[in-house]
Amino acid sequence: MRAIAIDGPAGAGKSTIARKTAQELGFIYVDTGALYRTIGYAVNHFGLSTKKAGEVVSALDRIHVELKFIDGEQRVFLNGEDVSDLIRSPEVSMFASEVSAIPKVREFLFDLQQDLANHHDVIMDGRDIGTVVLPNADLKIFLTATAEDRAKRRYQQFLESGTVVDFDRLLEEIKQRDYNDSHREIAPLRQAEDALLIDTTGNTLEESIDLLQKIIRNRLGLE
């Protein structure tokens, strides 16, 4: 099996780039952020606080998360219900960032992620894929861009999906999440030593996709 790990901060374009590249290569694209989002969503849905580790951990017994690939698209299921769309709000982003700092939550999701990589060729994106989940990945990429650039992209995505959000608030949330994700004690967001750093600031999405595909094809010896 072949594995490509893509890590980086929120909004760097990881998911769009990884999804398109996976389609091209015939790999499955695994968005691991969706798993943390599902836990955050579930904890809040149960009326518990995502800020309180004890409450979050006590809820794990009642949470069953599953990823299914329908026509090549990842869907995430919480206790049998497809929550893929419900977990996309800015509110759930913050819940996800909070629960992701809890070691038991990361442990809870670890096997699921490794298991997918053991059975499929994968492009997996997240924060700790190259450093923790798939340390032996064939290729590791750390994708980044300035917070302003990332907030602009997120803003555009929300507009396109018909959701009205405040730009300044989005930028603040991105900065807050960057801070949370890179300062937590367990599996913080950081570039693996053997990861390739790609800064997409100022690139169009097409340029970034093109660049990444070239790198991947080259490294994996595809054509």
| Residue among 4, 5, 6, 10 that touches ligand DC (CB under 6 A) | 10
Give the torsion sign (CA, 208, 213, 219, 223): negative
CA 23 to CA 14: how far, in whole Å?
14
User: Which range in 49-57, 96-104, 162-170, 210-218 contacts ligand DC by CB under 6 A?
Assistant: 96-104
User: Which range in 52-60, 95-103, 157-165, 206-214 contacts ligand DC by CB under 6 A?
Assistant: 95-103
Q: Residue 97 interacts with ligand DC (CB under 6 A)?
A: yes
Locate 129 and state its tokens.
Answer: 């894929």
Q: Which helix (H) or strand (E) holds 98?
A: helix 90-99
Q: Residue 154 interacts with ligand DC (CB under 6 A)?
A: no
Contacts of 187 (CB under 8 A, 6+ apart): 106, 127, 128, 131, 132
| Residue among 141, 177, 209, 212 that touches ligand DC (CB under 6 A) | 177
Of the candidates 67, 193, 41, 172, the one whose C-alpha atom is nearest the C-alpha of residue 120 is 67
Looking at the Cβ atoms of 19 and 177, the one nearer to ligand DC is 177
Of the candidates 107, 108, 104, 88, the one whose C-alpha atom is nearest the C-alpha of residue 96 is 88
Sheet holding 196-199, edge to edge: 28-31, 122-126, 3-7, 139-144, 196-199
Q: Write down the residue that tokens 């893509």 correspond to.
A: 6
Q: Residue 130 interacts with ligand DC (CB under 6 A)?
A: no
Q: How far is the CB of 10 from ligand DC (least distance, A)?
A: 4
Q: How far is the CB of 43 from ligand DC (least distance, A)?
A: 13
Q: How far is the CB of 132 from ligand DC (least distance, A)?
A: 8
Looking at the Cβ atoms of 20 and 177, the one nearer to ligand DC is 177
Q: How far is the CB of 218 from ligand DC (least distance, A)?
A: 25
Contacts of 191 (CB under 8 A, 6+ apart): 7, 130, 142, 197
Residues 109-128 that bind ligand DC (CB under 6 A): 126-128
User: Which range in 60-68, 74-82, 90-98, 195-203 contacts ligand DC by CB under 6 A?
Assistant: 90-98
Q: Which residues bind ligand DC (CB under 6 A)?
A: 10, 32-33, 36-37, 93, 96-97, 100, 126-129, 177, 181
